[in-house]
Amino acid sequence: MSEFHALVPAAGFGARMGIEVPKQYLDLAGQPMIWHAISTLCACPDIKTVYVVLAPDDEYFSQYDWSHCEGKLAPLYCGGATRAESVANGLLAAELEPDDWVLVHDAARPCLTQHLLSRMISELRDDPVGGILAVPVADTLKRADAQQRIACTEPREGLWQAQTPQMFRAGLLAGALAHCKTVTDEASAIEAMGLQPKLVASDSSNFKVTYPHDIVLAELLLKHKNN
């Protein structure tokens, strides 16, 4: 039987935050940001191991108390220059069976819930390709010209915003990433193979903390989180 594992790429710096500490270690509701997603993934009964891909010289991760994740958490100090490289390196180091499912999740999406995780696993566990959590675009979309004036309004019908986790078979994903080193998510590498990942409906609470003001919103959501 195929197993389910999570892989959290956490070897980035978070340049858009404009801070010294890597984004994933910023304090969020009394814990480092990365603690929240890892704790949710470790508490999911379907998930056997949570691999965390860290920068080779990471000095932060081992300073925190991870005792509540014991038996499931596996830090791997093999992060690369890009997110895709970190995920590819992590897959290699984890030595998963090709048929095992791997759920790749951003360290910077702390508000993931058990409800979304179990929806994703039950919708995709028998899928031939795999898929991603995503939300239909809600805002009207404008294309800008070089002067930052509106060149045109883009139809938003059929457009979704990709989130994580992104769930694929380990063998398929490793093969796809070996050919695509510049993609910004795993699904793009699978699409480049001519396959069509499924979109599993999520909600906007699973957003990526990117800019300083996102911290306030994430803390509010975490305070009211009850899965």
Question: Which stretches of the chain bind ligand C5P, using CB under 6 A?
Answer: 9-12, 14, 24, 53, 79-83, 86, 106-108, 208, 210
Residue number, 25 or 101, with CB nearest to ligand C5P: 25
Q: Find the shortest distance in angstroms from Cβ 191 to ligand C5P.
A: 18
Q: Find the shortest distance in angstroms from Cβ 87 to ligand C5P.
A: 7
Q: Which two tokens stand for residue 74?
A: 């596996």
Residue nearest to ligand C5P (CB): 12
Q: Find the shortest distance in angstroms from Cβ 127 to ligand C5P.
A: 24
- Which residues are bridge partners to 28 per DSSP? 31
Q: Which two tokens stand for residue 48?
A: 């056997």
Residue number, 7 or 190, with CB nearest to ligand C5P: 7
Q: Find the shortest distance in angstroms from Cβ 122 to ligand C5P.
A: 25
DSSP letter string over 110-132?
TT--HHHHHHHHHHHTT-SS-EE
Compute φ and ψ for 105, nearest 5 degrees: -130, 135
Residue number, 165 or 197, with CB nearest to ligand C5P: 165
Residue number, 170 or 183, with CB nearest to ligand C5P: 183
Residue number, 81 or 146, with CB nearest to ligand C5P: 81
Residue number, 24 or 206, with CB nearest to ligand C5P: 24
Cβ 133 vs Cβ 164: under 8 Å: yes
Which is nearest to 191 in space by CA: 171, 168, 208, 165? Answer: 168
Q: Which two tokens stand for residue 131?
A: 């898929």
Q: Find the shortest distance in angstroms from Cβ 166 to ligand C5P.
A: 11
At residue 154's C-alpha, the angle toward residues 149 and 157, to 5°, is 155
Cβ 7 vs Cβ 88: under 8 Å: no
Please provide the size of the chain in residues. 227
Q: Find the shortest distance in angstroms from Cβ 194 to ligand C5P.
A: 25
